[in-house]
């Protein structure tokens, strides 16, 4: 009897044993850093430069958001535009790969993920050349008189949004493809049998069934785009700085650790609230 109880106890412990590595990882690299971030955000400067003491000054959050309000709004604006552009570009691409590519499907998928074989930084630097004065884009736009002789694309909001859209495009395309690829083509054929035209079939059948991919893709694009600072740093100018640039400057240049931590925490909480509201509004709570 005792042996049977011991075996049952071991079986009950196995799930916890299997979960232990993941829980330890989360504690070490998620819970602990978040706690450290929160405690740093309520500190105040000490006597020596670079020293901070814990005074639980929650006014740091108000000071941080007031001082960087413009960058906060700009970050969400750029991220929203990049996400919308990414969706407009990626949905037809994912649809074509899922339903129209035939034997070229794997090749096209490799091309979608090919940018990941190059570092994020190098891809962004490449856009400096693409949009630069000697780049093909400038020459074409000037050739068709859409851009004046003194006009430029680099160091503009257009360049920052273009960089964000390009860099995060695979994050939009792959979830959309995965969602579209699971749709049974017979459902669209049935829609045609019921005298629905192509647009009605897309609106009533394809789009609703692909909504989990739309939600996942927009989240995977919007979240990193809102916190990005590389594109604004390399492709923008001082008036296009995003909140990531402010946090970077406060950590590494101004050495304002509490202010930077407060901004980071506010950004994280804001995005978390927006994500939860968006998922519930989209009717895909199973993604939570």
Secondary structure (DSSP) of 173-236: HHHHHHHHHTS-HHHHHHHHHTT--HHHHIIIIIHHHTHHHHHHHHHHHHHHHHH--HHHHHH-
Q: Is residue 284 over pLDDT 60?
A: no
Q: Which residues, at least 6 apart from 264, have a Cβ–Cβ distance to it below 8 Å?
A: 37, 41, 247
Instruction: Work out the average pLDDT over 223-229.
Output: 92
| Largest Cα–Cα separation, the chain | 90
Asked if residues 41 and 60 have their Cβ atoms less than 8 Å apart, the reply is yes
Provide the 8-state DSSP code for 145: T
Average pLDDT, stretch 40-47?
86
**If we measure between CA atoms, which residue out of 219, 220, 225, 226 comes closest to residue 277?**
219
* pTM (two decimals): 0.86
Average pLDDT of the residues in 205-234: 92
pLDDT of residue 7: 65
- Please, which pLDDT band fits residue 287 given cuts at 50, 70 and 90? very low
CA 102 to chain centre: 30
Q: Look up residue 97 and give its two tokens.
A: 């790969």
Which of 24-38, 43-57, 150-164, 252-266 is the least confident region? 43-57
pLDDT at 280: 82
Q: Looking at the predicted structure, is the pLDDT value of residue 146 above 50?
A: yes
Mean pLDDT within 71-75: 94
Q: What pLDDT, on the 0 to 100 scale, is given for residue 9?
A: 64
Q: So what's the pLDDT on residue 213?
A: 92
Please give the pLDDT value at position 167: 94
DSSP class of residue 117 equals G
Confidence of residue 1 (pLDDT cuts 50, 70, 90): low
Tokens of 87: 């969706």
53-283: CATH superfamily: MetI-like (1.10.3720.10)
């Amino acid at each position: 009897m005792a042996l049977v109880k011991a075996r049952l106890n071991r079986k009950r412990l196995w799930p916890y044993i299997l979960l232990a590595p993941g829980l330890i990882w989360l504690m070490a690299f998620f819970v602990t850093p978040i706690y450290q971030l929160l405690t740093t955000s309520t500190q105040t400067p000490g006597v020596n430069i670079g020293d901070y003491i814990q005074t639980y000054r929650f006014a740091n959050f108000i000071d941080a958001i007031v001082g960087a309000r413009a960058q906060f709004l700009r970050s969400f604006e750029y991220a929203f535009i990049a996400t919308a552009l990414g969706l407009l570009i990626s949905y037809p691409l994912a649809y074509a790969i899922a339903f129209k590519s035939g034997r070229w499907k794997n090749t096209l998928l490799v091309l979608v993920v090919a940018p990941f074989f190059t570092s994020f930084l190098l891809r962004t630097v490449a856009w400096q050349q693409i949009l630069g004065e000697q780049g093909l884009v400038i020459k074409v736009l000037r050739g068709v008189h859409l851009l004046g002789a003194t006009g430029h694309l680099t160091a503009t909001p257009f360049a920052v949004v273009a960089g964000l859209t390009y860099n995060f495009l695979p994050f939009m395309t792959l979830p959309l493809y995965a969602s579209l690829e699971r749709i049974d083509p017979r459902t669209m054929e049935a829609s045609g049998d019921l005298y629905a035209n192509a647009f009605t079939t897309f609106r009533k059948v394809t789009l609703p069934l692909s909504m989990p991919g739309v939600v996942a893709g927009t989240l995977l694009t919007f979240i990193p785009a809102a916190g990005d600072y590389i594109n604004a740093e390399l492709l923008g100018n001082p008036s296009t700085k995003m909140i990531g640039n402010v946090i970077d400057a406060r950590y590494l240049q101004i050495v304002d650790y509490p202010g930077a931590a407060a901004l980071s925490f506010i950004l994280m909480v804001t995005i978390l609230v927006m994500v939860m509201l968006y998922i519930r509004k989209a009717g895909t709570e199973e993604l939570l």
